[in-house]
Amino acid sequence: MWRATLLTLFPAMFPGSLGQSLAGRALANGVWSCETLDLRDFGLGRHRQVDDTPFGGGAGMVMRPDVVDAACEAAAPGGRPLIFLTPRGKPLTQALVRDLAAGPGAVLLCGRYEGVDQRVIEAREMIEVSVGDYVLSGGEPAALVLLDACVRLLPGVMGAVESGEEESFSAGLLEYPHYTRPAEWEGRDVPPVLLSGHHAEVAAWRLEESRRATRERRPDLWNRCASHGGALAAAAG
Ligand code: ADE
């Protein structure tokens, strides 16, 4: 069973919204497990203090290395990677998600306040991961994102149709747009090629739409994905 352990000051956030979704059903079916450790339980003194003021001055508080380390120890990572969710981290990509989903699980440290003492991040060889170039009030929503992305790839979670081919990002392109009935809605038609029954033309149209969307919306992906020159039969389905 793929095993997630969350180190958080807000254990009630897990499995949280995932409980209603695909990942929630997978959790009920025993495909994965989700346990939380309350960082407060490892806090120091009468007030169970988990943070302190930053050396060098500045605003906010920093989580203490001894407190975080004790929680990491209690999590018993075994062979699981220890991931710290932070806007300072490397971007969460589908490639990283695939690697994590193929492993035994993950221990996810959700930070609050201004950060976590860097020494425990290094001592525990944590992987610092960001879910995007914006700042959340804490790592918990980022951990939910990471979990959702991993769990849907676990064996038996997704329907047979989607699981083989990966949609957006597998080929380095954004997905093409989708249409269903009615064929005409509020004066808007479905692109005629999709009603033509010509599978090769449909595939060509979808590939071109994928390429166009990637070029227009994600020049960063477009320039990196070597999709120029038609190297990507995959995206054509
Ligand atoms: N914590 C706060 N912002 C974050 C982000 N963008 N990614 C991961 N963890 C975070």
DSSP letters spanning 58-93? -SS-EE-HHHHHHHHHHH--TTPPEEEEEEEEEEP-
Task: Estimate to the nearest angstrom the gap between the alpha carbon of 53 and the chain centroid.
Answer: 31
Closest CA to 216 of 173, 180, 185: 173
- The domain spans of the chain are 2-151, 169-236
Residue bearing the CA closest to ligand 1, atom 9? 86
Residue bearing the CA closest to ligand 1, atom 2? 136
86 lines ligand 1 (CB under 6 A): yes
pLDDT of res. 207? 97
Superfamily of domain 169-236: tRNA(m1g37)methyltransferase, domain 2 (1.10.1270.20)
pLDDT at 229 over 80: no
Task: Dump pLDDT digits (tens) for 85-142.
Answer: 999 999 999 999 999 999 999 999 998 767 999 999 999 999 999 999 999 999 999 9
Of the listed ranges 72-86, 110-124, 180-194, the one predicted with least confidence? 110-124
Of the listed ranges 54-58, 140-144, 161-165, the one predicted with least confidence? 161-165
ipTM of the predicted structure? 0.98
Identical fold, 2-151 and 169-236: no
Residue bearing the CA closest to ligand 1, atom 4? 87
Q: Structure tokens of 135?
A: 């700042």
Single pTM value for the model: 0.90
Q: What are the angstrom distances between the C-alpha of 171 and each of 2, 101, 160, 167, 237? A: 26, 19, 19, 8, 10
Superfamily of domain 2-151: SPOUT methyltransferase, trefoil knot domain (3.40.1280.10)
Positions at the binding site: 111, 131-136
Task: Dump pLDDT digits (tens) for 10-28.
Answer: 999 998 888 888 998 999 9
Report which ligand 1 atom has the smallest distance to the Cα of 132: 6
Output DSSP code: residue 167: -
Torsion of CA 35, 17, 64, 3, to 10 degrees: 30
Question: How far separated are the first and last CA of the chain, in Å rounded?
Answer: 32
